[in-house]
A and B are shown apart, each in its own frame.
Chain A
Amino acid sequence: QQQVKQSPQSLIVQKGGISIINCAYENTAFDYFPWYQQFPGKGPALLIAIRPDVSEKKEGRFTISFNKSAKQFSLHIMDSQPGDSATYFCAAKSPGNQFYFGTGTSLTVIP
């Protein structure tokens, strides 16, 4: 059973546009929601993270929106750049410190 569902599987955005990736979870006990960026041949890199008592967190061009009642959270990449082309993973952490990852979104930003 997939604990965290991520969509879309792939995304193509024009340079300067907004990229939006969505995730949904079932376990209301999850207490930490990070997003990771992964380039080919590299390990995932922590991008931004949020706790469930916060509805939005912004770091530069990256914003997490969190909807606790809907059990959904999303990553918004503003002013998307070709260098943002990568695979993005959402994740959720249980109180026991176990992480569950989404299946990933391959983002391509067209110049």
Chain B
Amino acid sequence: KAGVTQTPRYLIKTRGQQVTLSCSPISGHRSVSWYQQTPGQGLQFLFEYFSETQRNKGNFPGRFSGRQFSNSRSEMNVSTLELGDSALYLCASSLATSGGSYEQYFGPGTRLTVT
């Protein structure tokens, strides 16, 4: 079974621009979560999508948005980029099973550099 794929792997953007990152979850997984990872703040939750609906949202400004398509693929968008948005953006997919289990499988991430 193929793992979580993220594209692109690396991206360099200029302040003020916008960027769209893509994530393809493991086949059969309906939940996709996005995280921002930085050396200073660690792994921070951005949002989770399940069956095309945003189910959870972390504490990030409205410049960060996302969506999920009917095939469970997800995109996240960051508008008006700031230098502080430079980070590794990770996508994680899950079956979102019941009973207290929620195994998440991460993709390799997209390294975004804002100059």
Query: A: which residues have CB within 8 A of B?
Result: 31-32, 34, 36, 41-46, 49, 51, 89, 91, 93, 96-104
Instruction: State how many residues of chain B have any CB contact under 8 Å with chain A.
Output: 25
Across the two chains, which residue of chain B brings its CB closest to A45?
B106
- CB of A105, distance to nearest CB on chain B (Å): 11
Stretch from B13-21, B41-49, B62-70 contacting the other chain: B41-49
Number of A-B contacts (CB under 8 A): 58
A110 to B106, CA, bound (A): 28
Of the residues A31, A43, A100, A102, contact of B45 by C-beta under 8 Å: A100
A31 to B92, CA, bound (A): 19
Residues of A within 8 A of B104 (CB): 34, 46, 99
Residues of B within 8 A of A98 (CB): 45, 48, 56, 58
